[in-house]
């Protein structure tokens, strides 16, 4: 295998596997879809089938730009199955927005190719290393907002998704990792953190998405703390677009 | 049912990887393989292994990525048993590997049966097996 063997395989347009997980609001037992997040994995029956392994590897190879483009392209292609009313959330590394001056053009062109309106898109910023190109990162974010793309900050409170990133991103959505969410019903300290994130988001004019919601009691606690948006197996596991449509969670 | 041990094999020669995967799978292990140090590091960060078998050199040039992998395993998951294979073993390399805490330092070529005996010995009594769990 060549030195770039695995990366080249990942860049094959049909290699990546895309599933979508709903982000919902709830009102009692009723659920309403806010958006679907595209979750991309590597080829089946390879080491890259695991998303954490895939993206850890990509970061170690410093190939975030190429892989993010491939993932965005694959997600937009698969999203053509959805009705045009369905909003889409796509993951992008902060490093990509810093290093790829053509990313915005790429996103607009690819969305246009698949007839996906930019106003349907949210970019979820994942951040795993200190950012040295802060100026270009912020400029790209401003340009994205200008063309109608919403910004979400992924994994708020974990790793590098800290106060500095919140300031730099000024996200529309604060996505809180399942680490803080799972077990919050019986954990005063988790509740304290969630409450503070909720209060901070409100000050920013943003909303909180609780990820990894798997338990009714946690859902009740999150609702009591003011969280309105939820994502997790309690509502729906990630599924291929066609399967999600037939599940009834999306109005065709 | 005996525990299923999960092992990671790292070697830049595809035929060797293929043969080792076949042999260890037939012996009852769950096996992941890679030819790249970065892929190995990513796997080690997210998958719980019982043993790692690493080739010393992964690029065909005079580098010793295998030592870096052994060091990484020792630092992050010291319970994982390690085997370093090399066709270029010098006493200095072996001393360095031992200093890093490698469990077995073996010279290539090594019959697969003998390699499997070494791994089985390292994973012997008291090992519960990872059952392939993700960490």
> Where residue B103 falls among pLDDT bands split at 50, 70, 90?
very high
- Specify if B128 maps to a domain: no
- Specify if B61 maps to a domain: yes
The pLDDT tens digits of the residues spanning A127-167 come to 877 666 788 999 999 999 999 999 999 999 887 768 888 99
C-alpha–C-alpha distance, residues A93 and A65, integer Å: 8
> Where residue B132 falls among pLDDT bands split at 50, 70, 90?
very low
- Specify if B132 maps to a domain: no
The pLDDT tens digits of the residues spanning A184-239 come to 999 999 999 999 999 999 999 999 999 999 999 999 999 999 999 999 999 999 99
ipTM of the complex in this document: 0.82
- Specify if B135 maps to a domain: no
Read off the CATH number of the domain in which B113 is found.
3.40.50.2300
**Helix (H) or strand (E) run with residue B112 in it:** helix B112-122
The pLDDT tens digits of the residues spanning B13-23 come to 889 999 999 99
Domain ranges of chain A: 5-246
Superfamily of domain A5-246: EAL domain (3.20.20.450)
Residue whose tokens read 């291929």:
A240
Question: Higher model confidence: residue A12 or residue A62?
Answer: A62
Residue A48 contacts residue A63 (beta carbons within 8 Å):
no
Count the domains in chain B: 1
Residue whose tokens read 């009852």:
B28
Mean pLDDT of chain A: 92
Mean pLDDT, range B27-56, rounded to an integer: 94
- Specify if B33 maps to a domain: yes
Segments forming the whole domain that contains residue B75: 6-122
Q: Which residue of A has its CA nearest to B41?
A: A57
**Among A53, A64, A159, A179, the residue to mutate for chain B (most B Cβ within 10 A):** A53
- Specify if B134 maps to a domain: no
Tell me the shortest Cα–Cα distance from A27 to chain B, in angstroms: 35
- Six-digit token string for B69: 């992998």
Q: Is B14 on the interface with A (CB under 8 A)?
A: yes
Q: Is B13 on the interface with A (CB under 8 A)?
A: no
Q: What is the pTM of this model?
A: 0.87
What Cα–Cα distance (Å) separates residue A139 from each residue in A18, A134, B14, B19? 29, 9, 44, 51
C-alpha–C-alpha distance, residues A20 and A235, integer Å: 13
């Amino acid at each position: 295998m060549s030195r770039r063997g695995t990366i080249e395989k990942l860049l094959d347009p049909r290699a990546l596997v895309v599933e979508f997980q709903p982000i919902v609001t709830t009102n009692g037992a009723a659920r309403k879809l806010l958006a679907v997040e595209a979750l991309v994995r590597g080829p089946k029956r390879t080491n890259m089938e695991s998303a954490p392994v895939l993206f850890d590897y990509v970061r170690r190879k410093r190939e975030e730009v190429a892989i993010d483009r491939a993932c965005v392209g694959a997600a937009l292609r698969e999203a053509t199955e959805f009705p045009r009313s369905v909003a889409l959330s796509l993951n992008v590394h902060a490093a990509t927005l810093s290093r790829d001056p053509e990313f915005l053009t790429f996103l607009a062109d690819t969305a246009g190719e698949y007839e996906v309106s930019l106003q349907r898109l949210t970019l979820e910023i994942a951040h795993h290393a200190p950012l040295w190109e802060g100026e270009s990162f912020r400029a790209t974010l401003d340009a994205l907002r200008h063309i109608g793309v919403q910004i979400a900050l992924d994994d708020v409170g974990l790793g590098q998704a800290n106060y500095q990133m919140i300031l730099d991103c000024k996200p529309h959505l604060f996505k809180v990792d399942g680490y803080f969410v799972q077990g919050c019903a019986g954990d005063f300290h988790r509740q304290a953190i969630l409450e503070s994130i909720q209060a901070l988001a409100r000050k920013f004019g943003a909303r909180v998405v609780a990820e990894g919601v798997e338990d009714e009691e946690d859902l009740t606690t999150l609702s009591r703390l003011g969280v309105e948006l939820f994502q997790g197996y309690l509502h729906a596991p990630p599924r291929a677009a066609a399967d999600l449509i037939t599940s009834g969670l999306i109005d065709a | 049912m005996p525990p299923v041990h999960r092992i990671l094999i790292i070697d830049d020669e595809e035929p060797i990887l293929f043969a080792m995967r076949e042999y260890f799978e037939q012996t009852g292990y769950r096996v992941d393989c890679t030819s790249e140090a970065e892929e190995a590091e990513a796997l080690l960060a997210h998958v719980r292994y019982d043993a790692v078998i690493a080739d010393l050199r992964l690029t065909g040039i005079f580098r010793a990525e295998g030592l870096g992998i052994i060091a990484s395993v020792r630092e992050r998951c010291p319970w994982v048993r390690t085997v370093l294979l090399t066709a270029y073993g010098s006493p200095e390399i072996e001393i360095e590997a031992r200093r890093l805490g490698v469990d077995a330092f073996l010279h290539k070529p090594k019959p697969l049966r003998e390699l499997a005996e070494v791994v089985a010995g390292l994973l012997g009594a008291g090992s519960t097996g990872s059952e392939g769990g993700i960490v």
